[in-house]
């Protein structure tokens, strides 16, 4: 078959997927007697909507076989970096979990996601065009991690477990276990998810040949997620409590060259954190499902302790010395009201109104002395109207937010406390979207604009070093960072949920970036604001069904194609260019991703995922070799009437994924290399213990209930 035939046939493949899901059953197919009915809804692997892309984790073994961070790194166009944060198709992501901001960043966020098993994730929503109903502080885009499974009537249970290993200098084990219990009766429903993970790993780091580190890491994580729902007449009350306990031990062999003197030593890092979260939601029910009134309040506490002891071996042996002893405590309170109702405008319309209050209190201490007290208060009101006319959809929103940020930081030289640079301002954030439905539910074209803001995160503000440090390495935050203002534009053409081409442009003012400089034999890292940064990003995704190579055209037209049951290759590519005044000739970089799904005999599914990033500027970093280069393989099959799923997998098969870059913001350039034990092999499995009641009906997820009747996905953050 000629290559030029691939595009039109792939288009037919997309339309066949759609009609296969919509084709009604013929009357003759009905049975005369039915004792019990079981309805199974097949989840889409990838679903694209006007403002977001949804990736299903629960039914995708190649995504849910390891930890959550590993699963996220397999999503085309998503880049996770401790230097640059989390970026999707050129947009920096604010990380949410179950509809609420995580408010943890940098290495703490990485450790948190590494400690969360991927098979505890239901789906990932990447919201690229957050409207007025979302906080303006969401910045350019949002990634919302939806956890747990759907609850069922009567008691049911699901067990999930996994084991993987790496074998570099020696054998290291990584495993996780979780249990989800669900129950519902005529008075109330409840859900409980408990789990743990254990992860042994290694990291080798080199900075300008003056510092070489070998890290032997042990990370432990335990979590509990609980939910209760009560029906009060027609209304509903939901209560959630989540607890996460994390700890890590790092044993570091170090080599250092400082002021012409070589030294070696052994250091130990002990870090622990606790996260508590309580949420209460009251939902007022109406006869009209498009009408909504919801009240929600939540409280989150996150505490972190970081300690480092060091022992010099050469040139002069020493006993263990306490090098770092830092801690932080964060409290977040928020309350919101959301109201929506249909309105008579054009063919049909909807009006949404709401109010939001958020207060963040963050304090940090160094050896027991408080050296940062940071407070941020946000009050917001929003209004958003949507309407439809023929094949056109319109959205227009306006959000006003008032910020009051202040605090104090300790000046170690004077011993006094200085006031932080205050930020007290009211700002208005508009958003607008126009969508033309070329073929309703099949293909659409949309244009979006929104203005957003990002407040500096506490990891960048914290003046303490919460990473490894020695004579050569000094990390610190900048308590005087200013908020970043974003103007986001996007145009996108999509066919069904699998093919798309889009372009987005972001103009950022006061963009926060990581600054790495070398002064003598000391590497300094902190954060600073850039006056302006412009980002251009072009991305395209396209599926190719393998049936086109061995099936006559007339037979393809007759096929009932479900993308989760056919073999295909998905191609993704993007080009990103960042324009910063300090970089004279910026170089963009390409991202290439190829994902192949192959249906083998006995309903076995083989998946291969390869991602490669070319060289190009990322803020003030330029790679000496590819930022990301990895091949992941998985083989999965369902057993016992599809109650049990077993997956064998191998990540970074060729051991090619590493960070190897140089800085470009100042001379001399600093060369940084980090290599983790990313090549791992393992297995994962889930088992759904069946309920005794064959007619048990599926009810909404309790652990992350963020109700929106029209789609079932988490919409209100």
Give the H/E segment covering residue 107.
helix 106-114
* Angle in degrees, CA 663, 668, 673, rounded to 5: 45
The answer to whether residue 100 scores a pLDDT higher than 80 is: no
Q: How far apart are the first and last CA of the chain?
A: 48
**What mean pLDDT is predicted for residues 280-296?**
89
Q: Do strands 644-651 and 680-689 pair parallel, antiparallel, or not at all (unpaired)? A: antiparallel
Strands 235-258 and 473-475: unpaired
Output the pLDDT for position 705: 41
Q: How confident is the model at residue 127 (pLDDT cuts 50, 70, 90)?
A: confident
- pLDDT of 696 strictly over 50: no
Structural domain tally of the chain? 1
Enter the DSSP assignment of 117.
Answer: B
Is residue 36 scored above 50 in pLDDT?
A: no
698 has a pLDDT exceeding 60: no
Q: CA nearest 513: which of 487, 531, 496, 495?
A: 531
- CA atoms of 45 and 64, how far apart (whole Å): 12
pLDDT above 90 for 169: no
Binned at pLDDT 50, 70 and 90, residue 8 comes out as very low
pLDDT, one tens digit per residue, over 226-281 is 988 888 888 889 999 999 999 999 999 999 999 989 999 999 999 999 999 999 99
pLDDT for 31 equals: 40
| Structural domain for 306, as ranges | 219-689
* Residue pair 456/423 in contact by the 8 Å Cβ criterion: no
Q: 389 and 379 in contact (C-beta within 8 Å)? A: no
H helices of 434-516, in order, are 458-461
What's the token pair of residue 137?
Answer: 């502080």
Domain assignment present for residue 206? The answer is no
Residue 254 lies in a domain: yes
User: Which pLDDT band, with edges at 50, 70 and 90, does 108 fall under?
Assistant: low
Q: Per-residue confidence at 487, pLDDT binned at 50, 70, 90? A: very high
Burial label, 175 (beta-carbon count in 10 A; 0-12, 13-18, 19+): middle
In a domain, 67, yes or no: no
Query: What per-residue confidence (pLDDT) applies to 650?
Result: 94
pLDDT at 691 over 70: no
Determine the number of helices (DSSP H) and then strands (DSSP E) in the chain: 6, 35
Q: What is the tens place of the pLDDT at every residue in 182-225?
A: 777 777 788 888 989 999 999 999 999 899 999 999 999 999 98
Q: What is the pLDDT of residue 153?
A: 44
Q: How far is CA 440 from the centre of its chain?
A: 30
Stated length of the chain: 717
How far apart, in whole angstroms, are the C-alpha atoms of residue 445 and residue 453? 26
Asked whether residue 493 is domain-assigned, the answer is yes
Residue 137 has pLDDT above 80, yes or no: no
Does 148 have pLDDT greater than 70? Answer: no
Closest CA to 653 of 672, 635, 674: 635
pTM: 0.78
Confirm whether 210 is domain-assigned: no
CATH code of the domain containing 273: 2.40.170.20
Query: Which SS3 state, helix, strand or coil, does residue 112 take?
Result: helix
Structure tokens at 50: 């006007």
pLDDT of the residue at 713? 32
CB atoms within 10 A of CB 439: 12
Using DSSP, state whether 595 is helix, strand or coil: strand
Query: Omega of the bond prior to 315 within 30 degrees of 0, cis?
Result: yes
Q: Tell me whether strands 171-184 and 188-207 are parallel, antiparallel or unpaired.
A: antiparallel
pLDDT (0 to 100) of residue 715: 31
Nearest to 386 by CA among 354, 346, 440: 346
pLDDT at 125: 84
Cα Rg for the chain, rounded, in angstroms? 26
Q: How far apart are CA 644 and CA 513, in angstroms?
A: 45
Greater pLDDT, 629 or 38 = 629
259 lies in a domain? Answer: yes
Residue 1 — pLDDT band, cuts 50, 70, 90? very low
| pLDDT score of 684 more than 50 | yes
Q: Which two tokens stand for residue 711?
A: 């789609």
Task: Tell me what pLDDT residue 49 has.
Answer: 65
Task: Give the range among 14-23, 91-100, 517-526 with minimum mean pLDDT.
Answer: 14-23
Token reading at 97: 């979990």
Contacts of 584 (CB under 8 A, 6+ apart): none
Kindly tell me if the per-residue pLDDT of 175 is higher than 80. yes
pLDDT of residue 3: 44
- Stretch 33-43: mean pLDDT: 43
* pLDDT exceeds cutoff 60 at 35: no
The percentage of residues in the chain with a pLDDT greater than 70, rounded to a whole number, is 80
Sequence-ordered alpha helix ranges (H) in 349-487: 458-461
Beta bridge partners of 160: 178, 686
Q: Report the range out of 49-63, 637-651, 698-712 with the highest average pLDDT.
A: 637-651
Q: CA torsion 655→80→143→589, rounded to 10°? A: -100
Mean pLDDT over each residue of the chain, to the nearest integer: 81
> Quick check: helix, strand or coil at residue 555?
helix
- Say what the pLDDT of residue 106 is: 61
φ/ψ bin of 5: left (φ > 0), alpha (ψ from -120 to 50), beta (otherwise): alpha
For residues 529-558, give the mean pLDDT. 77
Q: Which of 610, 623, 622, 687 is nearest to 650 (CA)?
A: 610
Average pLDDT over residues 591-619: 91
Does residue 626 sit in helix, strand or coil? coil
Q: Strand, coil or helix: what is 34?
A: coil
Average pLDDT, integer, range 666-678: 92
* Adjacent-strand bridge partners of 341: 351
Is position 708 within any domain? no
- Parallel, antiparallel, or unpaired: how do β-strands 121-127 and 141-147 relate? antiparallel
| pLDDT recorded at residue 495 | 81
Q: Determine, yes or no, domain membership for 60.
A: no
Residue 258 and residue 300 in contact, taking contact as beta carbons nearer than 8 Å: no
Which residues make Cβ contacts (< 8 Å) with residue 7, sequence separation at least 6? Answer: none
Closest to 620 in 3D by CA, of 592, 591, 586, 574: 586
pLDDT tens for residues 614-660? 999 988 999 999 988 999 999 988 888 777 888 899 999 999 999 99
HSE-up of 134 (CA within 13 Å, CB side)?
28
Residue 13 is encoded by which pair of tokens?
């493949």
Contact 632, 74 (CB under 8 A): yes
Q: Can you tell me the mean pLDDT for 277-292?
A: 89
- Residue 568 and residue 424: Cα distance in Å, rounded? 53
**pLDDT the model gives residue 553:** 56
Measured CA distances, 79 to 83, 87, 543, 650 (Å):
11, 5, 21, 20
Q: What string of DSSP letters covers 146-161?
A: EES---BSS-EEEEEE
Nearest to 185 by CA among 650, 697, 709: 697
**Higher pLDDT residue, 323 or 198?**
198
Has residue 454 got a pLDDT over 50? yes
Mean pLDDT of 118-146: 75
């Amino acid at each position: 078959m000629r290559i030029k035939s691939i595009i039109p046939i792939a288009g037919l493949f997309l339309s066949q997927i759609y009609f296969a899901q919509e084709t009604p059953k013929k009357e003759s197919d009905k049975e005369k007697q039915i004792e019990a009915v079981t309805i199974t809804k097949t989840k889409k692997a990838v679903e694209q909507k006007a403002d977001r892309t949804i990736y299903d984790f629960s039914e995708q073994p190649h995504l849910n076989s390891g930890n959550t961070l590993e699963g996220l790194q397999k999503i085309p166009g998503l880049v996770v970096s401790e230097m640059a944060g989390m970026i999707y198709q050129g947009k920096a992501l604010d990380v949410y979990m179950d509809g609420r901001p995580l408010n943890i960043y940098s290495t703490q966020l990485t450790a948190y996601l590494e400690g969360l098993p991927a098979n505890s994730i239901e789906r990932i929503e990447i919201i690229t065009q957050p409207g007025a109903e979302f906080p303006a502080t969401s910045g350019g885009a949002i990634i919302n991690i939806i956890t747990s499974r759907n609850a069922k009537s009567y008691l049911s249970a699901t067990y999930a477990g996994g084991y993987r290993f790496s074998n570099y200098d020696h054998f290291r084990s990584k495993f996780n276990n979780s249990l989800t219990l669900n129950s519902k009766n005529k008075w109330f429903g409840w859900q409980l998810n408990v789990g743990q993970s254990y992860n042994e790993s290694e990291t080798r780091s080199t900075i300008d040949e003056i510092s070489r580190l070998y890290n032997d890491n042990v990370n432990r994580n335990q979590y509990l997620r609980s939910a209760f729902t009560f029906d009060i007449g027609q209304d509903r009350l939901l209560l959630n409590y989540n607890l996460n306990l994390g700890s890590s031990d790092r044993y570091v062999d170090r080599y250092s060259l400082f002021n012409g003197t070589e030294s070696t030593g052994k250091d130990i890092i002990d870090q622990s954190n606790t996260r508590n979260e309580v949420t209460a939601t009251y939902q007022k029910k109406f006869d009209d499902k498009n009408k909504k009134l919801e009240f929600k309040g939540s409280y989150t506490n996150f505490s972190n302790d970081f300690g480092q002891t060091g022992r010099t071996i050469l040139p002069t042996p020493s006993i263990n010395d306490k090098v770092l002893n830092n801690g932080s405590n964060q409290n977040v309170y928020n309350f919101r009201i959301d109201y929506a109702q249909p309105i008579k405008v054009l063919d049909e319309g909807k009006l949404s109104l709401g109010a939001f209050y958020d207060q963040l209190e963050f304090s940090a201490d160094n050896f027991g002395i408080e050296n940062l007290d940071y407070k941020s208060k946000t009050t917001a009101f929003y209004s958003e109207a949507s309407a439809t006319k023929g094949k056109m959809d319109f959205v227009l929103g306006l959000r006003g937010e008032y910020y009051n940020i202040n605090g104090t930081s300790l000046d170690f030289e004077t011993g006094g406390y200085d006031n932080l640079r205050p930020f007290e301002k009211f700002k208005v954030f508009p958003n607008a979207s126009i969508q033309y439905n070329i073929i309703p539910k099949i293909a659409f074209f949309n244009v979006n604009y929104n203005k957003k803001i990002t407040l500096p995160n506490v990891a960048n503000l914290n003046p303490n070093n919460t990473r490894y440090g020695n004579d050569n390495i000094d990390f610190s935050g900048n308590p005087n960072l200013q908020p970043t203002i974003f103007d986001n534009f996007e145009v996108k053409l999509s066919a069904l949920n699998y093919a798309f081409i889009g372009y987005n442009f972001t103009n950022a003012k006061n963009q926060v970036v990581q600054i790495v400089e070398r002064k003598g034999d000391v590497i300094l890292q902190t954060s600073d604001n850039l006056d302006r940064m412009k980002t251009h990003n072009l991305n395209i995704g396209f599926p190719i069904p393998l049936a086109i190579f061995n099936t006559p055209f007339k037979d393809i037209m007759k096929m009932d194609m479900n993308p989760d049951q056919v073999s295909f290759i998905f191609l993704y590519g993007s080009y990103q260019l960042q324009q910063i005044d300090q970089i004279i000739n910026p170089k963009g970089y390409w991202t290439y991703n190829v994902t192949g799904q192959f249906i083998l005999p006995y309903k076995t599914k083989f998946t291969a995922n390869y991602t490669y990033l070319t060289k190009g500027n990322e803020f003030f970093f330029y790679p000496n070799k590819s930022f990301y280069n990895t091949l992941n393989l998985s083989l999965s099959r369902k057993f016992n009437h599809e109650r049990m799923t077993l997956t064998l997998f191998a990540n970074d098969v060729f051991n090619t994924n590493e960070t190897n870059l140089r800085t470009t913001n100042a001379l001399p350039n600093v060369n940084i290399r980090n290599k983790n034990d990313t090549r791992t092999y393992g297995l994962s499995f889930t088992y759904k213990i069946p309920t005794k009641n064959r007619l048990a009906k599926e009810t909404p997820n309790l652990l992350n209930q963020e109700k929106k009747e029209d789609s079932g996905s988490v919409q209100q953050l």
